[in-house]
Every structure is written in C-alpha cells, then in structure tokens.
C-alpha cells in the first residue's frame, strides 16, 4: 500500500496526540478482535500475482466465448470502439465530483447532455444525473413517492413482472418503514394482467410500478392503468429497457409520471453485473423531489453558456434528514459511456438496433416453437425476450447447452415457482441467424434423443 507520510511524520503525529506507537490507536478494539488471522496466502511478486489473476480470468467463459441468449435485465449488445476510446480519456476517467463549475465544465456538460438524451428517450421533462443501476433507480422512485405523499399513503403496488431484483431492492429499502405495505407481486393463478393491477390501486396507493417490456418480455399498453392510477391521485412509475424505446412509444405516451431503467444496454459491458447505470426521469412536477444529482445550463457573469449542479437544496447535504433521497452522487463514467453510445448511434441508429433485436427475437421464437416438446408461451407482443416451455427443467437444459458453447436463457423457476421448465430467452443484434439456427438445432438434439 502507498502511504504518503514518512516514519518521521508518523512519529510527529503520534507525539502530538500523546501516543508512542500506532498500535496504541487500536486499544479500544477488544484485544481478541484486534489483529485477526486473515488466512491469506503468502505475499507474491507482481509478476506472479498477474499470472494468478490471468489464470482466474481465463477460467471464465464470457459472452465472447459463448453464444449468449441470456438477458433478464442485462443484455449482450454491440459496443462501438469509440465508447471506450472517449471514456478512457484522462479528463473524463479521473474527473472528480463536479462541485466546482469553474474547473468541471467538461464533466458537467457531459452530464447535462446525458440528462437531455434520457429525457428525450423516455419522453419525460427531466432526468437526474443517473443512479447506480436499474434496481436503485426503482427504489429511489418509491422513496420519491413516499415523500411526495409525506408518508400518508401507505401502499406500493408492484407488478409481479417488475424485475425480481428491483422488487427485492425496493423491499430492502423499505424494511424500516413500518406503515408501508408492498403488494401486487404475490404468486397468482395464470399471468397477471394490467386489470389485475387496477383492482389493487386505491386512494391509499402512493405508487404503482410496472415494467415495459416487463420481465417476461411482454409489451403492454398501460394507458388504462395510468388513467386509473391518476384518478386515485397516485404515481405511475415504469421501468424500461432503453433499447426498446428505439421502437416502442415512450412511457410519456401513456402518461407515466416516473421512468426508471437499467442503462446497461446503452454501450455498457455486462462485466459480471456491474458497474451499471440507473436511469431516472420524471415529469416536471417532481423536480423538487428528484433523487440524486442534477446538472443545469446557465450563463456566467459575462453571459457565456455554462453548466452547474442545480436545485441542490433538495439534496441530503443541505436538507439533511428531510431530503427525499440519501443519494448525492451519480454514476459519472458509465453515464458518459451511455451518452457516447446514444450520440454515436443517434435516433435512427437506435431504431435500427431495436428493429434488429425485435426481428431476430421473433425469428428465434418462431423457430423454437416448432421444436418437438417446446412451446412458445403466447403473452402478446414482445420485444427481444420471450418465454418458452421446454420438456426438461431449465437448469438441466442450460447445462446441456453449455457443452455446446451456448449460454441459455434465464431459468424463470428461480423467481416464479409456477414457471417450472420455463425459460426466458433474449436475442439481440449480436446473435446472427446462424447462431439462432444453431441454438434450435442443439435444443432439438439435447431434448429429443
């Protein structure tokens, strides 16, 4: 470890506080916990450490080695080389929290552009500077709703097909809020419809959370749900897959109040689960309760355009315990990656990517449905993900597929016990027609001997 102070510095500091050695600083820790045996291997040289780490890395199978049909919230998309080239520039890579506009114009402008792009993509009025991931953004939307109603409305309605991890994160956030009841995602007969959700929404409901496309890949029109939610004075929040918005109407079209989402598909590598990007955008009405950081455009004393953190009185460092959110930071570098991605592909490029996903997924669904023993579960329109029932449990099927270098779909029985043998298959622009045909061939082979 690099410690910048010298032995003499340390001695001086210890003398100043009346101690003779570093160990004296730890006397308040009970002795048996003071120097625990860490059970670490012996120290190795840099060369050996690098070799060890490389060996571990090589032992992984990545999406570069396998044909990937796994999605369920994180997707294998093409990332243009210029994304990395731009975000690894020193000015961006090491930029610190942009509190000082006089030295942070580049970072601040990049965040402002990010916010503008997210607002435009979702159809919302305002976007924050981003959160850690889609799950955090979803939980923050619930916190916003809680504060919006000053704790007086006690019911959160979550669709059963909001990503299971997001629902878990929301529940974790609200563990300590005794009055809050989280309903709507309980196990039920058949597949939950928007009408089922409508029945749960009353004037004690703070927020209704749905996903678009939902965890099973379904694209639903939430207009009638939105009308009911609004007639009860509640907030409608929607979690989105940003790539799908290249093709689908933005959630503003059915009058969503808050749009959140996982920004990973926008130029961010899968990387074993992170760092990812939480999208968070709302109607203007909620701008004073927006969680996280916000950058605004302004003019300096000479009338030149500039960018600053704005509306900071919402934030925890000023409003303390009364702040809507505990988050005063954002996912700077990853948000920048998505900004570069969105600017590079542009409006038409995003539409093309979305169309490729849609077409390939529909081709795959069609082909798989023809395999003996397989059934495509018809849940209405879908984007790049769909549910199939296979003749054998998904876990077994995936183990078989892995022998053929195929990373199979998500095992839905993990989160939905009623969906044994159901697999959620994702198809993106990265899957060629040959890949899909190969999957179909192998599925047939491993299940029909």
Partner 1 sequence: MSNPSNFKFAKTDEWVSVEENLATIGVSDYAQSQLSDIVYLEFLVEPGDDFSKGDSIVTLESVKAAADVSSPVSGKVVEVNEKLSDDFEAVNADPFGRAWMVKVELSDPSELDSLMTADEYTKYCEERDH
DSSP conformation letters of 226-294: HHHHHHTT-EEEEEE-GGGGGTSPPGGGGT-SEEEEE-TTTT---GGG-S--EEEEE-GGGGGG--S--
Nearest to 389 by CA among 363, 416, 420: 420
Nearest to 286 by CA among 235, 249, 322: 235
Task: List the interface residues with partner 1, window 287-306 (CB under 8 A).
Answer: 288
Q: Which residues of 98-128 are buried (b: 16+ CB within 10 A; e: fewer)?
A: beebeebeebbbbbbbbbbbbbebbbbebbb
Q: Is 322 in the site for partner 1 (CB under 8 A)?
A: yes
125, 294 Cβ separation under 8 angstroms: no
Q: Is 317 in the site for partner 1 (CB under 8 A)?
A: no
Tell me whether residue 200 or residue 328 sits nearer to partner 1 (CB atom): 328
Tell me whether residue 188 or residue 318 sits nearer to partner 1 (CB atom): 318
219, 192 Cβ separation under 8 angstroms: no
Give the list of residues 6+ apart from residue 107 with CB closer than 8 angstroms, or none.
Answer: 92, 95, 98, 332
Stretch that binds partner 1, among 29-37, 158-166, 316-324, 377-385 (CB under 8 A): 316-324
318, 392, 399, 402: which one contacts partner 1 (CB under 8 A)?
Answer: 318
Task: Give the nearest distance from C-beta 313 to partner 1 in angstroms.
Answer: 4
Tell me whether residue 294 or residue 365 sits nearer to partner 1 (CB atom): 294
Q: Is 319 in the site for partner 1 (CB under 8 A)?
A: yes
Q: Is 199 in the site for partner 1 (CB under 8 A)?
A: no
Tell me whether residue 314 or residue 422 sits nearer to partner 1 (CB atom): 314
Q: Is 203 in the site for partner 1 (CB under 8 A)?
A: no
Tell me whether residue 109 or residue 310 sits nearer to partner 1 (CB atom): 310
3-state secondary structure at position 403: coil
Q: Is 179 in the site for partner 1 (CB under 8 A)?
A: no
Tell me whether residue 120 or residue 312 sits nearer to partner 1 (CB atom): 312
Stretch that binds partner 1, among 70-78, 210-218, 262-270, 310-318 (CB under 8 A): 310-318
25, 44, 188, 313: which one contacts partner 1 (CB under 8 A)?
Answer: 313
Q: Is 150 in the site for partner 1 (CB under 8 A)?
A: yes
Locus of tokens 């997001």: 166
Q: Binding residues for partner 1, per CB under 8 A?
A: 150, 288, 313-314, 318-319, 322
């Amino acid at each position: 470890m690099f410690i910048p102070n010298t032995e003499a510095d340390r001695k001086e500091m210890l003398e100043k506080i009346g101690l003779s050695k570093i160990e004296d600083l730890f006397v308040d820790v009970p002795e048996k916990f003071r120097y625990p045996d860490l059970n670490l291997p012996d120290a190795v040289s840099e060369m050996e450490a690098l070799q060890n780490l490389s060996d571990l890395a090589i032992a992984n199978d990545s999406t570069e080695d396998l044909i990937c049909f796994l999605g369920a919230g994180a997707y294998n998309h093409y990332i243009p080389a210029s994304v990395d080239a731009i975000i690894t520039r020193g000015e961006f890579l090491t930029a610190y929290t942009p509190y000082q506009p006089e030295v942070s114009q580049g970072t601040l402008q990049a965040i402002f552009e990010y916010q503008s792009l997210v607002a435009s993509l979702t159809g919302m009025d305002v976007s924050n500077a981003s959160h850690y991931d889609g799950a955090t953004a979803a939980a923050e939307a619930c916190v916003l709703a809680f504060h919006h109603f000053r704790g007086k409305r006690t019911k959160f309605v979550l669709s059963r097909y909001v990503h299971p991890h997001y629902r878990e994160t929301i529940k974790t956030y609200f563990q300590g809020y005794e009055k809050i009841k989280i309903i709507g995602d309980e196990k039920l007969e058949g597949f939950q419809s928007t009408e089922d959700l409508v029945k749960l929404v009353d004037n004690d409901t703070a927020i209704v959370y749905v996903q678009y496309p939902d965890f099973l890949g379904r694209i639903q029109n939430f207009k009638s749900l939105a009308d009911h939610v609004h007639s009860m004075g509640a907030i409608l929040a929607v979690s989105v897959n940003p790539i799908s918005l290249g093709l689908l109407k933005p959630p503003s079209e059915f009058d969503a109040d808050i749009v959140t989402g996982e920004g990973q598909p926008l130029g961010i590598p899968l990387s074993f689960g992170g760092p990812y990007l939480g999208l968070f955008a709302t109607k203007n009405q909620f701008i004073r309760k927006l969680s996280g950081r916000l950058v605004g455009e302004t003019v300096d004393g000479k009338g030149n355009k500039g960018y600053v953190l704005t509306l900071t009185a919402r934030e925890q460092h000023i409003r303390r315990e009364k702040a809507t959110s505990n988050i005063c930071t954002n996912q700077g570098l990853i948000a920048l990656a998505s900004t570069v991605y969105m600017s590079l592909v542009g409006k038409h490029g995003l539409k093309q990517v979305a169309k490729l996903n849609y077409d390939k997924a529909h081709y795959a669904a069609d082909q798989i449905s023809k395999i003996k023993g397989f059934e495509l579960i018809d849940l209405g329109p879908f984007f790049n993900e769909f549910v199939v029932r296979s003749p054998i449990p998904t876990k077994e099927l995936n183990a078989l597929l892995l022998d053929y270098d195929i990373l199979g779909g998500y095992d839905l029985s993990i989160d939905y016990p009623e969906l044994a043998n159901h697999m959620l298959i994702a198809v993106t622009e990265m899957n060629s027609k040959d890949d899909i045909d190969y999957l179909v061939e192998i599925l047939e082979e491993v299940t029909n001997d």
